[in-house]
C-alpha cells in the first residue's frame, strides 16, 4: 500500500488541499464564513439545484432505457452479440468532449435535426440528458447485465410453476436479487452525471452549468479561487457520500447472492415478444449510439467543397491560430501521454489491488474508497492544483512532460483496481503458500502463480486505463502546454473558435479520437473472458 498511498498523497490530496487552502485562507487564517457567503448566492444555488436535478433525471432516464438492454445481453444468445456489446461500451470510454461534439453534430446548429426539420436542441437540457444516457448506457448494461446473466433462471421458473404470473415472478424473485446491482449502477451513473464537465460545457452553453463547469469558470475565467474552493468542498462531500453508498451496495451484492455460470443462462429468443424486445434494443442502440457517432463522422468529411478530406488536411496546418503547432501533432502527444499514464496506472493500481486482496478492515476499506475519489472529485481542481503545488523543488514538474501523464493516471488507477481486484481475490492463497513451501520467494511466487492467472485481466485494465487517459480533459486543459496539446484539449479549443474550418477540424479530431478508443475497446473484447470481467 505504500507506493499507491504516497502517489495519491502527492498528486491528489496535496494539490486538492492546496487549491482549497489558497481560496479559503487569507493572512494565515481560514475564512470558513466564505462557505456561507458563497452558498447564499442565488446563482450558486441555481447551479447546485441544476447539478443535482439533472443528475437524478439522467440516472432515471438511463435506467429506463438501458435495463431492457441489460436483460437482452444477460438472457439472450444471438448472432453479433459480442460486437453489439462492444458497440454499446464505446461511448463510455470516449472522452466527454467527443460525446458533446457528437451530439452537437446531431442536434446543434447545422446538425442533422436542424437540416431535416429545423430543430435544434443544443443549449437545452434535453441535449444534456440524452448525451448522458449515451455515455452511461454501458454502465447499466454491464453492471446489471453482468449479474443478471449469473442469476439462476430456475428460481423464477419455480415461482411460475407455483402459480405466479411472469410479472409477479420477476418482481418477487429476480428484482430483489438485482437490487444491489441496480443500485450500484444508478450510483455510478449519478456520480458521472453529477460531476459532468465536457458534455455540459459543450451542449449547455451559457444557460446550464454544473458544479464542475462552475468550478472551471470561477477558476479559469473569473479567477475567484474562494468560490471555486467552496464549490470543490461541496462536490467532494457529495462524492464521498455517493462512494460510501456505492461501496455498501457492492459488498451487499458480493455477499447476498449465489451465482451460476453465465454460459448456461443465455438462450436464443423464443416467441414474437422476445424477438420484438431484441429488435427494440438493437433499434435503441442504433438511434442512441450509432446515429450520433455516424453523424460525427459524416460532418468530419463534409468540407466546404463537398465530401472529402479537407478538414483532415487542414489539421496539418497551424494557420488557424488556435495552436502554436499543427493540430495533427495532438494525436502523437495524446498517444505518448496515454502510454505513460497507462504504465503509471498499471503499477499503482496493480499494487493497490494486490494490497486490498491481502488485508481487510476499516483501513483497507478507506483506502479502497480513496482510490475511487479521482473519478468524482473535480478534475479542474486537480489540474489547477498541479500548477500551484508542483512548481518548487524537489517537485518542480510544471515545465516537464510528465505532469500530464500523472494527472491522467489518477483517473486510470480506479479502473485498474476495479478490473483486477475480483480476479486477484479469486486466486487461491494456498497456491502461494505451496510455492513458498517449495522455496519460492514472494516475487517468484507472484510471477509464477498470480501473474499467469491475472495476465488477461492486467491487459484489460491497461486497455481501460489507456482509453480513459487518452480522453482526460478536466485536468489536462490546465496543464497541457500550447505547443503540446492533447486531442481533447485541441477539440475544445477548436470548438471555442468561430468559423466552419475550426468546427470541421474539431469534428475530424473527434473522429480520430473516437476511432482510437473504439479500436482499443474492440481489442479488449477479444481478450475478455467471463472470469476477467472485473467490476466495470
Print the domain residue range for 245.
Answer: 2-28+42-300+311-532
Structure confidence at residue 256 (pLDDT): 45
Cα 306 to Cα 299, 301, 311: the distances in Å are 11, 8, 11
Q: For residue 531, what pLDDT is reported?
A: 42
CA proximity to 98, closest of 485, 472, 521, 482: 472
Residue stretches of the chain with pLDDT short of 70: 246-247, 249-264, 318-324, 359-361, 365, 426, 524-536
CA 307 to chain centre: 33
Backbone angles phi, psi at 326, to 5 degrees: -60, 140
Residue 430, C-alpha cell as written in the block: 494456498
Give residue-wise pLDDT tens across range 217-236. 888 788 888 888 888 888 88
- How far apart are the C-alpha atoms of 439 and 164, rounded to whole Å? 59
Q: Looking at the domain assignment, is residue 305 inside a domain?
A: no
| Cell numbers placing 336 | 505518448
Please say whether the beta carbons of 229 and 378 come within 8 A: no
What pLDDT is stored for residue 339 in this prediction?
92
Burial class (CB in 10 A: 0-12, 13-18, 19+), 176: exposed
391 forms bridges with which residues in the sheet?
A: 396
Q: Are 299 and 105 in contact (CB under 8 A)?
A: yes
DSSP structure class, residue 390: T
Q: Nine-digit cell at 296?
A: 460525427
User: Which three cell numbers mark 363?
Assistant: 483501513
197 neighbors 212 (Cβ within 8 angstroms): yes
Backbone angles phi, psi at 71, to 5 degrees: -65, -45
**Set of cell numbers at residue 26:** 487569507
Q: What spatial distance separates the first Cα and last Cα of the chain, rounded to whole Å?
A: 22
Task: Name the residue with cell 457520500.
Answer: 241
How many other CB atoms are there within 10 angstroms of residue 241's CB atom? 10
- What per-residue confidence (pLDDT) applies to 177? 79
Q: What is the pTM of this model?
A: 0.80
**Does the residue 306 lie in any domain?**
no
Q: Rounded to whole angstroms, how far apart are CA atoms 60 and 127?
A: 15
Answer whether residue 35 is part of any domain: no
What phi, psi does 25 have (nearest 5°)?
Answer: -110, 125
C-alpha cell at 314: 487542414
| Domain assignment present for 100 | yes
Contact (CB, 8 A) for 145 and 71: yes
Residue 450, CA atoms < 13 Å, CB-side half-sphere: 25
Check residue 472 and give its pLDDT: 83
CATH number at residue 230: 1.10.3720.10
Residue 133: what pLDDT?
94
SS3 at position 399: coil
On whether residue 151 sits in a domain, the answer given is: yes
CA contacts within 13 A on the Cβ side of 440: 16
Per DSSP, 395 falls in state: E
- What are the CB-based long-range contacts (under 8 Å, 24+) for 479-483? 479/383, 479/386, 479/387, 479/398, 479/403, 479/404, 479/407, 480/333, 480/404, 482/323, 482/324, 483/323, 483/324, 483/325
pLDDT in tens, 445-495: 877 877 777 777 788 788 878 888 887 877 888 788 877 888 888 888 887
User: Which grid cell sits at 191?
Assistant: 456520480
Q: Do 100 and 131 form a contact (C-beta atoms < 8 A)?
A: yes
Q: Write a three-state SS string for 62-108.
A: HHHHHHHHHHHHHHECCCCHHHHHHHHHHHHHCCHHHHHHHHHHHHC
- Examine residue 394 and say whether the peptide bond preceding it is cis (omega within 30 degrees of 0): yes
> Do the Cβ atoms of 230 and 38 come closer than 8 Å?
yes
Instruction: Give, for 259, the enclosing helix (H) or strand (E).
Output: none
pLDDT of residue 259: 57
In this structure, is residue 191 part of a structural domain?
yes
Residue 34 lies in a domain: no
d(CA 340, CA 324): 23
**Is 36 domain-assigned?**
no
Q: Report CA-CA distances (Å) from 125 to 22, 159, 200, 261.
A: 34, 43, 9, 42
Which residues are registered as beta bridge partners of 30? 25
Q: d(Cα 22, Cα 349) in Å, to the nearest integer?
A: 30
Q: How many domains does the chain have?
A: 1
pLDDT of amino acid 534: 46
Residue positions counted in the chain: 536
Phi-psi region of 163 (alpha: psi -120 to 50; beta: other; left: phi over 0): left
Amino acid at each position: 500500500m505504500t507506493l499507491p498511498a504516497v502517489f495519491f498523497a502527492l498528486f491528489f490530496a496535496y494539490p486538492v488541499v492546496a487549491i482549497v487552502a489558497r481560496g479559503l485562507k487569507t493572512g494565515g487564517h481560514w475564512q470558513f464564513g466564505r462557505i456561507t457567503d458563497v452558498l447564499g448566492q442565488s446563482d450558486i444555488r441555481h447551479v447546485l439545484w441544476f447539478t443535482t436535478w439533472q443528475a437524478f433525471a439522467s440516472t432515471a432516464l438511463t435506467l429506463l432505457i438501458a435495463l431492457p438492454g441489460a436483460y437482452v445481453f444477460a438472457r439472450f444468445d444471438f448472432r453479433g452479440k459480442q460486437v453489439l456489446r462492444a458497440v454499446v461500451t464505446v461511448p463510455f470510454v470516449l472522452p466527454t468532449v467527443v460525446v458533446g461534439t457528437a451530439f452537437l453534430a446531431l442536434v446543434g446548429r447545422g446538425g442533422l435535426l436542424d437540416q431535416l426539420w429545423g430543430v435544434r436542441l443544443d443549449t437545452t437540457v434535453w441535449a444534456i440528458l440524452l448525451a448522458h444516457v449515451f455515455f452511461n448506457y454501458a454502465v447499466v448494461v454491464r453492471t446489471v447485465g453482468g449479474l443478471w446473466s449469473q442469476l439462476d433462471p430456475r428460481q423464477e421458473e419455480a415461482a411460475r410453476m407455483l402459480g405466479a404470473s411472469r410479472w409477479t415472478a420477476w418482481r418477487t424473485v429476480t428484482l430483489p436479487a438485482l437490487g444491489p446491482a441496480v443500485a450500484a449502477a444508478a450510483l455510478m451513473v449519478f456520480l458521472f452525471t453529477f460531476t459532468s464537465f465536457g458534455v455540459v460545457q459543450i451542449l449547455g452553453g451559457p444557460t446550464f452549468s454544473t458544479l464542475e463547469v462552475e468550478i472551471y469558470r470561477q477558476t479559469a475565467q473569473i479567477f475567484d479561487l474562494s468560490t471555486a474552493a467552496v464549490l470543490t468542498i461541496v462536490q467532494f462531500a457529495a462524492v464521498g457520500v455517493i462512494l460510501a453508498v456505492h461501496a455498501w451496495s457492492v459488498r451487499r451484492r458480493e455477499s447476498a447472492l449465489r451465482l451460476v455460470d453465465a454460459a448456461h443462462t443465455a438462450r436464443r429468443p423464443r416467441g414474437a415478444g422476445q424477438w420484438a424486445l431484441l429488435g427494440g434494443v438493437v433499434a435503441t442502440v442504433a438511434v442512441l449510439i450509432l446515429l450520433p457517432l455516424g453523424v460525427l463522422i459524416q460532418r468530419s468529411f463534409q468540407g466546404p467543397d463537398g465530401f472529402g478530406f479537407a478538414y483532415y488536411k487542414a489539421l496539418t496546418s497551424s494557420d488557424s491560430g488556435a495552436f502554436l503547432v499543427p493540430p495533427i501533432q495532438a494525436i502523437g502527444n495524446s498517444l505518448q501521454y496515454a502510454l505513460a499514464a497507462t504504465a503509471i496506472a498499471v503499477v499503482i493500481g496493480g499494487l493497490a489491488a494486490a494490497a486490498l486482496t491481502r488485508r481487510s478492515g476499516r483501513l483497507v476499506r478507506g483506502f479502497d474508497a480513496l482510490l475511487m475519489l479521482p473519478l468524482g472529485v473535480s478534475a479542474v481542481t486537480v489540474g489547477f492544483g498541479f500548477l500551484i503545488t508542483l512548481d518548487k523543488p524537489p517537485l518542480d514538474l510544471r515545465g516537464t512532460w510528465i505532469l500530464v501523464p500523472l494527472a491522467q493516471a489518477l483517473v486510470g488507477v480506479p479502473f485498474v483496481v476495479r478490473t483486477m481486484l475480483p480476479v486477484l481475490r479469486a486466486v487461491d492463497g494456498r497456491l502461494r503458500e505451496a510455492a513458498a513451501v517449495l522455496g519460492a520467494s514472494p516475487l517468484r511466487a507472484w510471477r509464477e502463480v498470480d501473474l499467469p492467472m491475472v495476465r488477461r485481466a492486467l491487459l484489460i485494465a491497461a486497455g481501460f486505463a489507456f482509453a480513459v487517459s487518452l480522453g482526460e480533459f478536466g485536468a489536462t486543459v490546465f496543464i497541457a502546454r500550447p505547443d503540446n496539446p492533447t486531442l481533447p484539449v485541441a477539440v475544445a479549443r477548436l470548438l471555442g473558435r468561430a468559423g466552419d474550418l475550426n468546427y470541421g477540424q474539431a469534428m475530424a479530431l473527434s473522429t480520430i479520437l473516437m476511432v482510437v478508443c473504439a479500436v482499443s475497446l474492440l481489442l479488449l473484447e477479444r481478450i475478455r473472458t467471463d472470469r476477467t470481467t472485473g467490476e466495470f
